[in-house]
Amino acid sequence: MPIPILMPALSPTMETGRLAKWLVREGDAIASGDVIAEIETDKATMEVEAVDDGTIGKILVAEGSDDVAVNQPIAVMLEEGEGRAALEDFIGNRSKSAFADVAGQTEAATQPATQNAEVMAENGAHVALPSATANGGRERLFASPLARRLAKKNKIDLGRIAGSGPHGRIVKRDVEAAIDQAIAPVGSSAEPAVSPSAVMSDDEILKLYEQGSYDMEPHDSMRKIIAERLCVAKQTIPHFYLTVDCALDALLSLRARLNAGAPRDAEGKPAWKISVNDCIIKALGMALKRVPEANVAWTRQAMLKHRHCDVGVAVAIEGGLVTPVVRKVDTKGLLTISREMKDFVVRARERKLLPHDYRGATTSVSNLGMFGIREFSAIINPPQATILAVGAGEKRAVVGENGAVRVKTLMTATLSSDHRAVDGALGARFLSAFKSFIEDPAIMLL
């Protein structure tokens, strides 16, 4: 069945865009990952990638068109084996208004969960047109050809799979996850899996609170994507947790000396101010370098062993969070990390981060210490295999080996790990390496 290619949402606030340039023509074959167009927003010019294989059957929006609404069809893609007759039948049976209706129905679509932790809608989103039956079900399931072949080969019932592709489309990774989780094959009497959103309907929730008072605030695209990705991550990644207390006294002393040595301008403003979080980022990158076996990502085909230590840092912004990435942390000094983070925070809060800024981290850190949180566990951001949750530094009484009680500034850090990629002993070595860099920070400067 032909598939409309929609105007993608390239940022959480994007409502319309300008189709600056088509990089393909009608009749061109495209493969997943091919750049097919350039879209201009108020923030940047970005490339749109195809997310499936097929052929460009019809271009609906001309090059240079302004104010093209998000989720408006801009082209139609033909799948394998489909020709001009299928395209004409598809377009002939559906007016532009029908396309617009589909865009409205699929506004809540989210990104595939296997991409890095970003909070923008996927470039080049495709959507198939669902039609309701009398009993409220779908007349057909919308899945990529590869997903259908894989499901047939492994006797997997596509009706029992929730699609994680653009606009609910079932893609290869969904079928692979179903195989891993041993979802019942066709003809099985097992009960279908129930998604969290199906546990209680919106009407049931409103009825539950009908005696109370509340305000309805619609979800924006960022909140929808965060919710979907966290559900997928928690349900499909086997998390386990390791916690350690790190003494901060030496780090705080080193930080104070470095900041005290910063030159000052005419107004007395220091040239730099290194934060504890900057030191934590550096220590995490150095720990990955010391324990490279933990610098990995799980795939069904193979373990991905990263060559660089790229740390994603959770930054809270209005309505959600983003995770800009400090690249090659192990090769950078604290001053460089500090300057990069200050720039990231400013641009994140202005919603001006580009995809390169928040894609491709090999691990992440979430620090809630500034809010007084002592300890917490974070959810892994796929496809990463680890994330470190850091609490506040606080003075605590510590009993030494000789029984003497001393007061130290301790910080609790909890490592969440994907057990498919990082086993318990490996996670412990990784966390121990992080602790050693925090407690003896001078070695990070070597």
Distance (Å, rounded) from C-alpha 248 to C-alpha 338? 18
- Cβ distance 359 to 46 under 8 Å? no
Question: Closest by alpha carbon to 90, among 11, 31, 2, 173?
Answer: 2
Strand order in the sheet with 35-40: 45-49, 35-40, 16-22, 65-69
Half-sphere exposure of 177 (CA within 13 A, CB side): 23
Residue of 126, 167, 308, 419 with catalytic role: 419
Cα 257 to chain centroid, rounded: 37
Handedness of CA 365, 369, 371, 372 (dihedral sign): positive
- Cβ distance 278 to 340 under 8 Å? no
Taking each helix axis from N to C terminus, what angle separates 424-439 and 249-260, rounded to the nearest 10 degrees?
Answer: 50
Maximum distance among all Cα pairs of the chain, rounded to whole angstroms: 85
DSSP per residue, 174-239? HHHHHHHTTPPBTT--SPPP--GGGSS-HHHHHHHTTTS-----PPPHHHHHHHHHHHHHHHHS-E
Question: Closest by alpha carbon to 289, among 320, 228, 332?
Answer: 332
- Active site annotation includes 419: yes
Burial of 128 (0-12, 13-18, 19+ CB in 10 A): buried
- Bridge partners (DSSP) listed for residue 30: 54
Cα 24 to chain centroid, rounded: 28
Taking each helix axis from N to C terminus, what angle separates 334-349 and 276-290, rounded to the nearest 10 degrees?
Answer: 120
Provide the pairing of β-strand 363-367 with 311-313: parallel
Q: Per-residue b/e over 145-168, b at no fewer than 16 CB within 10 Å? A: eebbebbeeeebbbebbbbbbbbb
Strand order in the sheet with 363-367: 239-247, 405-418, 386-399, 363-367, 311-313, 325-326
Active site amino acids? 419
